[in-house]
């Protein structure tokens, strides 16, 4: 497998795992917030505010994973080394 194929696979798997993790985390956060509001409707404002802050923190994980995947795909620091190595092996 070539270096670029491995980079594409790594970025794809990384984004899939990151999206899966954030989806599970957000689902659990919303579930807990809804349960909290159903137990104590008077505290819905505080629960909603805390849930929104928590969801923003969880969503930042997906953004960080996206940034790392884009770096792997487009700004890989090992790209030049891999191209030189491939040219050496091809000779």
Nearest residue to 5 (alpha-carbon basis) of 71, 73, 70: 73
Mean pLDDT of the chain: 90
List the Cα angle 15/13/66 in 5-degree steps: 20
Domain ranges (residues) in the chain: 3-90
pLDDT of residue 47: 93
42 vs 24: CA distance, rounded Å: 27
| pTM given for the model | 0.74
pLDDT tens digits, residue range 3-37?
888 888 999 999 999 999 999 999 999 999 999 99
List the Cα angle 24/41/34 in 5-degree steps: 10
Q: Which CATH number fits domain 3-90: 1.20.20.10, 3.10.25.10, 1.10.287.1080, 3.40.309.10?
A: 1.20.20.10
């Amino acid at each position: 497998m070539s270096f670029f194929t491995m980079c594409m696979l790594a970025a794809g798997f990384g984004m899939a795992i990151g999206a899966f993790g954030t989806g599970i985390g957000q689902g659990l956060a919303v579930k807990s917030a809804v349960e909290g509001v159903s137990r104590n409707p008077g505290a819905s404002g505080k629960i909603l505010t805390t849930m929104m802050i928590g969801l923003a923190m969880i969503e930042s994980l997906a953004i960080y994973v996206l940034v790392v995947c884009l770096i792997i795909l487009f700004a890989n620091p090992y790209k030049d080394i891999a191209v030189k190595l491939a040219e050496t092996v091809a000779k």
